[in-house]
Amino acid sequence: MLMFAVLEDAITCFQKGASASRGGSQARYRAAQDWLLNDNSDWPFSFEKICEALDLDPSYIRAGLLRWRQNAAAGRLKIRLFYIVRAGRNMRKNGRTKS
């Protein structure tokens, strides 16, 4: 769960900060970008190691994020690439709760 949360936070910072011109969002964007694009897997919480632990393809995620950033910069994409529905969180549809 911690690894998943780290990955989720990095992608969120990347997406929210991609259009920021300065301030904390821009700093978090740069840090997230550095972490996501770094293919060094020497430490346990590197992007590569987290993807390995979660059985995800890091190249696929990177390509999607870079494509998203390119489209977002061109003003063609208004949605975020990565949405999470966590286990145990209820979703509502038509006033009823699903588990």
Q: What is the pLDDT of residues 55-71, one digit of tens each?
A: 999 999 999 999 988 88
Instruction: Please give the average per-residue pLDDT across 78-96, as a whole number.
Output: 50
The mean pLDDT value for 41-51 works out to: 92
pLDDT at 25: 78
Bigger pLDDT: 89 vs 51: 51
Confidence class of residue 8 from pLDDT cuts 50, 70 and 90?
very high
- Bridge partners (DSSP) listed for residue 98: 91
**Which residues are paired to 97 by β-bridges?**
92
